Amino acid sequence: MDLTRKVAIVTGASKGIGRATVEALLERGAAVAGWARTAPEGLTHDRFQFFECDVQDEHSITEAFTNTQRELGPEIHVLVNNAGLGIMGDIDGFKVDDWKTMFDTNVLGTFLCTRAVLPQMKKQQLGHIINVASLAGTAGTAGMAGYCATKFAVRGFSDALFKEVRPAGIRVTCVMPGSVETNFNGNEPGAEPDPYKMTPESVAEAIVHAIEAPDTTMISEIQLRPAQVK
């Protein structure tokens, strides 16, 4: 898809992979709606609009979607379901509220945002949905059972969804990064990033690569790993 003058929604847009994806899409000429609970600090662009949104809340998503269409137009070409969180801990001491928070954000939020955009994408017979999962959705890890369960769910949802919406001209890609460096090491400005982790920008470039694939091609899954290991 040529992203020039296309409209993209990115959830979890305030920092990390979400913000990097917003910036990468803007560089390609897209108009971008950033959905998050807080606005990305210092990000201003004439093709960027921020809409406060809690992806755990259906009403909040409906309001953000209505506002996006009002400000950027009715057509929605790309949805990047990036909003997510991880709470680690052993199962025998895991809090039920933390379990629900992860599932409501990582899984329910992905479903609700996807459901919001699908009618318009089907009307257009065009669209691309990117679901950001994790390599934790491919193999379990001790102390991360809850997080792994949510990412396995996102991967399964993505696999079923692409088969469901493919006939309508909608592409679905599940992006599964490994370790990503979302902050510099240490507190001093200019500290070097961890060489054993990927940057948010590198994940954003993979997302854009999938979107810009030729119209005859759908990249259904992308697994990303740091190039170096300890």
| DSSP SS3 for 55 | coil
Number of H helices, E strands in the chain: 6, 7
Residue type, 56: Q
Q: What is the DSSP letter of 108?
A: I
Measured torsion, CA atoms of residues 116, 154, 25, 127, in degrees rounded to the nearest 10: -50
Distance of CA 45 to the CA centre of its chain: 20
**H-assigned helices in the chain:** 16-27, 58-72, 96-103, 109-124, 145-165, 200-211
Active site residue 147: yes
Q: What is the DSSP string of 77-105?
A: -EEEE---------GGG--HHHHHHHHII
Point out the catalytic residue in the list 35, 65, 147, 152: 147
Q: How many CB atoms lie within 10 A of CB 146?
A: 22
> Taking a C-beta distance cutoff of 8 angstroms, is the pair 110, 137 a contact?
no
- Which residues are designated catalytic? 147
